[in-house]
Amino acid sequence: MLSALLKGKLNPYNPGEINSEDLLTSIFFGFANYLDPNTFLKPFLSTAINYNGISLDFSKITESRIFFWPTFYQSREPDVVIVLKDNDDKTTVIIVECKLYSGKSNIEIKDQSSTLTGDQLVDQFYLGESEILKNKFDLPDNYEPYLLYLTAHLSYPGDDIEESLRAIHEDSIRQQFKDKLYWSNWQNAHHLIPTLSPYNDTEQTLLDDLKKFFENRRLFYFRGFENEGPRREIFQKDYIFWNSWEMDKPNISKTKTAFWQE
């Protein structure tokens, strides 16, 4: 929450912003910043999958730095940038786009000379491949960029990804996008927390608090009706995500997603 306030993302006098994406982002990655990367960040990032159902291996990561809402000239502002280093001195950069109830923030590009496509995920992907990112964080020439799409969808958001792919016209770039765009959801984090091994009591307390926060926000997988109160309350903010993307790693059948309000 402190990060969101410091970056001007929240109005401290507006109680309605308690449900904002920026608050969720700030709390989630703020906790990750205080925990050893082996305790939480590495296991969580390992839950993410790309278009082909493949996960990344973070087992060698030894160092992590998290940056909130960095700004770039003539480029989109990502929610979070994570810089990781491993014991082979390899640098991995993950640009994170966080969503709660809203969809992608696509824009209309009228300036033909603009480097932006208008699709939020594609623009973030190009940022990862640019000199702008490299210079901003003083990255080595051989850094490896990835994009993480973090949402509240209950399964892979196929429609969002297919829409982004249509905004890319080169086949080779489209394949890179499929390989380097990863997706996970907030619910995965809640599900993961009980399985983690914190180093000390302080880390355990932080994890317990983060788990309670997710439960307070109703960001967890359905666990049955008997203890959860009225049926509608198991879904986030009265919305139902009904996704027909049948996901069974590593194969994902690509069918359409419906999204409606109850």
Q: Quickly list DSSP for 49-91.
A: B-TTSPPPP-TTEEEEEEEES---TTS---SEEEEEEETT--E
Dihedral in degrees, nearest 10, Cα atoms 161, 162, 165, 169: -170
Give the dihedral sign, CA 171/172/177/179: positive
**For residue range 82-103, what is the model confidence (pLDDT) as tens digits?**
999 999 989 999 999 999 988 8
Rounded CA-CA distance 96/70 in Å is 11
Rounded CA-CA distance 136/131 in Å is 8
- Beta carbons of 92 and 86 less than 8 angstroms apart: yes
Over range 124-142, report the average pLDDT: 91
**For residue range 144-192, what is the model confidence (pLDDT) as tens digits?**
999 999 999 999 999 999 999 999 989 999 999 999 999 999 999 999 9
DSSP state of 231: G
Helices 201-216 and 21-34 sit at what angle, rounded to 10 degrees?
Answer: 170
Rounded CA-CA distance 116/225 in Å is 45
pLDDT of residue 245: 43
Q: Is the pTM of this model over 0.85?
A: no
Rounded CA-CA distance 242/113 in Å is 39
* pLDDT of residue 136 exceeding 80: yes
So where are the chain's domains? 2-261
pLDDT of residue 40: 98
Element (DSSP H or E) covering residue 190: helix 186-192
Give percent of the chain with pLDDT exceeding 70: 73
- Beta carbons of 219 and 187 less than 8 angstroms apart: yes
SS3 97: strand
